[in-house]
Amino acid sequence: MGVSKKKLFLLTFTVILLLMILPFLSGCTQETFSQPDDPPVSSEKTQEEIEAEEKAQRLREEEEHRLAEERKMEERRLREEALKAELGHFYVPLPPEEVEDNPAVKAKGIYVTGHTVGQTARFAGLLSLLESTELNAMVIDVKNDHGKMSYKSKIAIVNEIRADSSVPIKDIEALMATLKEKDIYPIARIVVFRDPYMAEQRPEWAIQKNGGGVWRDYKKFAWVNPYEKNIWDYTIAIAKEAALLGFREIQFDYVRFPENASRVDREAYYPGNNGVEKDHNIANFISYAREQLKDYNVHIAADVFGVIATSWGDSDRIGQNWEQLSPLLEYICPMVYPSHYGPGYFGFPVPDANPAGTIRRSMADSVKRNAPLETPAIIRPWLQSFTATWVPGYISYGAKEVRQQIEAALEFGIDEYMIWNAGNRYFNSAFLTAEEAGAREEKAERERREKGHDLLGRTSSRALEEYLGAVRRKNWREAFVLHSTGFTLDHDLYKDWVGSWTAALTSFKINSNEAEGERFTFELDLTLTQNGEKVNLEGQSFEVFIENRIWRVKPSVGFIELLTKTPENQS
């Protein structure tokens, strides 16, 4: 059935009308269902809710911290138990996890025995000496030359052998508190292998006689065996305890074999040496001590014979070799007492009668020995404050002689020292005030820079001339000191290298130099002789620069190549 046009029009009109009013109907519907009188919904928290959440967070963090601390304490307890099991009667507690700063100090110290510390009036006098002068350190016996402790120890092995049965320092904690209060740098002196007490208590740990029994030196003292690992652990246990008590530096003394080696080696033997040379063994001990003490917040020093700065290798066969020990230590302490050098040493009929000259020569040698080492120790010498009446031609030592030694060392930039007197009697007038000493040191350093001098008093050009002179003479010792090899050669390798030269330097001429800060480039003409023929090298560039506070020389590549050129590879 058809739809009329009129009905179709009305239907279309109605649809259009509905489409036009539908948005208005939706708005009315939404308005109809809204509830304007209800409070608005807010996403903000109340202050009480915020505070409650913050408190809950704090409690969670505190609980986490508590649990972490408990875990840490348990881990430390387990570490302590493991350490006790491992070390047995050598056990010493672990260091605290948080320690005070222990910066390096330019120490100017005096030697003090435990007995002096125990004498209230005498010790008070020494404290006054340090308060009024440049002195700022005390080297105090912890374990002395007789193997006895100066205070009551908590180490089981010390208690077992009664090495602390009678101690002069009754309250070690009070002593350390006093030193800290007065800003005195405390150094623990620990005598290592000259330990007659331990040698009697544990004879199997001592140096043995070839015919059986414990060997003794000419004073009838027994020595412990430097190859004995138990002695290493015993010494280090004492060092650890000293560190925990507040000593800021450990100084090992008698870290060597007995002197008069020719006699000792005839009469004695060392169980457990396994073919290890004496000097390597002493170096191994220092390396072991460093490793064991690395967490105990102490500096490491060792006393050495003064002559090892002048002789090469372990010439005295006591196990001390400068090149091996200096890189392992923070402070190397040569005992350069003038009385300890024999007649004619350094050209002096009686070195003891020439305190300033003897110290100058010994300090020059010490600086030279440090120069070729990449990480040498700081040189801090022991100086003499006693009269050596047993030395033929001796002189009396007073304040003047002590001061002469201090000033002689300062000429070489060595502004740290320690003064030895076995009775701990020192001359107040030997020392300046701290202010005077500081001004003196600053002046010496300023004058050195202004003159362009190194610690050995040489300019860059003088150092170059001395190096070339040493090369011309094939004096490997002097050349080694002055030749910068990038620390790639030790003295043995350098000696062999010089021995391999096929050419000889016969003359040289320095034409010019250019400076860039403390680095100079010199242009040279050189003449060498090889296979009987002269070879001229012109316009060779040699660099001269400061290394370990002395001028050192880096020769040209052409010069080095010609020195070692063989006939087969000559062009």
pLDDT at 15 exceeding the cut of 60 = no
Q: pLDDT band at 32, cuts 50/70/90? A: very low
Q: Which residues contact 407 (CB under 8 A, 6 or more apart)?
A: 356
The 3 state secondary structure assigned to 155-191 is CHHHHHHCCCCCCCCCCHHHHHHHHHHCCCEEEEEEE
pLDDT at 51 exceeding the cut of 70 = yes
Q: What is the pLDDT of residue 470?
A: 97
Structure confidence by residue, pLDDT tens digits, 184-209: 999 999 999 999 999 999 999 999 99
Q: What is the pLDDT of residue 566?
A: 62
> Of 431, 439, 420, 437, which is closest to residue 138 (Cα–Cα)?
420
Structure tokens at 452: 């362009």
- What is the Cα–Cα distance from 8 to 347, expressed in whole angstroms? 139
pLDDT at 80 exceeding the cut of 70 = yes
Residues 198 and 162: beta-carbon distance below 8 Å: no
Question: What values do phi and psi take at 215, rounded to 5?
Answer: -75, 150
Neighbouring CB atoms inside 10 A of 463's CB total: 23
Q: What is the pLDDT of residue 570?
A: 43
Residues 261 and 318: beta-carbon distance below 8 Å: yes
**How far is the first Cα of the chain from the last one, in angstroms, to the nearest whole number?**
124
| Average pLDDT along the chain | 92
Structure confidence by residue, pLDDT tens digits, 250-292: 999 999 999 999 999 999 999 999 999 999 999 999 999 999 9
Amino acid, res. 303: D
Q: What is the pLDDT of residue 42?
A: 55
Domains of the chain: 87-451 (3.20.20.80), 460-569 (3.10.450.50)
Q: What is the pLDDT of residue 30?
A: 43
pLDDT at 27 exceeding the cut of 80 = no
> Of 197, 185, 148, which is closest to residue 169 (Cα–Cα)?
148
| Cα angle: 65, vertex 71, 75; to 5 degrees | 145
Q: Which residues contact 456 (CB under 8 A, 6 or more apart)?
A: 364, 367, 368, 412, 550
pLDDT at 409 exceeding the cut of 70 = yes
pLDDT at 25 exceeding the cut of 50 = no
Mean pLDDT of 103-113: 97
- What is the Cα–Cα distance from 372 to 485, expressed in whole angstroms? 8
Structure tokens at 370: 């440090």
Mean pLDDT of 28-55: 65
Q: Residue 362 in 3-state DSSP?
A: helix
DSSP assignment of 300-331 equals EEEEEEGGGGTS-SSTTSSS--HHHHGGG-SE
Mean pLDDT of 107-120: 98
Q: Which residues contact 19 (CB under 8 A, 6 or more apart)?
A: none
Question: What values do phi and psi take at 526, rounded to 5?
Answer: -130, 150
Q: Which helix (H) or strand (E) holds 132?
A: helix 120-132
Question: What values do phi and psi take at 216, rounded to 5?
Answer: -135, 150
Q: pLDDT band at 512, cuts 50/70/90? A: confident
Identify the sign of the CA torsion 26, 32, 36, 40: negative
- What is the Cα–Cα distance from 377 to 333, expressed in whole angstroms? 9
Q: Which residues contact 300 (CB under 8 A, 6 or more apart)?
A: 249, 250, 252, 286, 289, 290, 293, 329, 330, 331
Mean pLDDT of 165-184: 97
Residue 479: is it exposed, middle or buried by C-beta count within 10 angstroms (0-12/13-18/19+)? Answer: buried
Total-model pTM = 0.87
Tokens 């003359």 belong to 507
Q: What is the pLDDT of residue 518?
A: 87
Structure confidence by residue, pLDDT tens digits, 141-154: 999 999 999 999 99
Q: What is the pLDDT of residue 8?
A: 47
Q: Which residues contact 499 (CB under 8 A, 6 or more apart)?
A: 476
Structure confidence by residue, pLDDT tens digits, 454-482: 999 999 999 999 999 999 999 999 999 99
Q: What is the pLDDT of residue 13?
A: 52
Q: What is the pLDDT of residue 383?
A: 98
pLDDT at 357 exceeding the cut of 80 = yes
pLDDT at 2 exceeding the cut of 60 = no
Q: How far is CA 428 from CA 32, 147, 408, 435, in A?
A: 105, 31, 19, 16
